[in-house]
Amino acid sequence: MTPSKRASRDRRRFRGGLAAAGSAAVLLAAIPMASAAAAPHTLPGSVMIESGTFHGYVLCAGPTDESVWLKPINTSDPYCSWMSFGPASQFTLFNPAKGQVMAYTGGNEGAVVMEAPGTSRLGANGELWSWGGQEDWGAAALQSFSDSGQNVDAKSPDGDSPRTDPVHTRGWRHGHQRELTWNAITVG
């Protein structure tokens, strides 16, 4: 595929995602929500994705690399604000500051990365996510749509604390589940 055809396809996909923004309300209604003070940089409907076990820590796009990181909540950090497009069963997380989407790279403990829309080596499903059911502790698994057995993991591989390395996935039955759950916090 030529670069101009790929760019045209990416623009169509992104516009389609924007058209689905109305569906984002379905996602936001389907999971536990909290509110944070809106920062001036946030767009209406922006969310932060907070860890269900490490309260006060959210998913953030890496400003200088393609990784996704877990950082303390900072509503003025545009790399921690996401636009969600689609219903709870199949949605895209777009980071406006980065201009990229969050994607799964495959495999157990696969990296969660930032990439241009429409460029996942796993195809479109690699850029899609879904919410699992709400757990007793009030959070839901953030699952790869490509492999619903793989959930975004907030736990450090070196202990029972928030991870300080790039975010990866983990299977639901491998270790504790709380670290695999998240809440969307409205910020805009």
Q: Where are the domains of the chain?
A: 3-186
- Calpha distance 147→145 (Å, rounded): 5
DSSP state of 115: E
More confident of the two residues 33 and 118: 118
37 has a pLDDT exceeding 90: no
pLDDT band with cut points at 50, 70 and 90 for residue 97: very high
The angle subtended at Cα 72 by Cα 67 and Cα 75, nearest 5°, is 95
In the chain, what percentage of residues exceed pLDDT 90?
Answer: 65
State the DSSP string of 120-169.
Answer: -TT-GGGG-EEEEEEPTTS-EEEEESS-TTEEEE-B-TTSSSB--SPPEE
pTM, two decimals, is: 0.77
- Calpha distance 131→139 (Å, rounded): 10
111 has a pLDDT exceeding 90: yes
Architecture of the domain defined by 3-186: Trefoil (2.80)
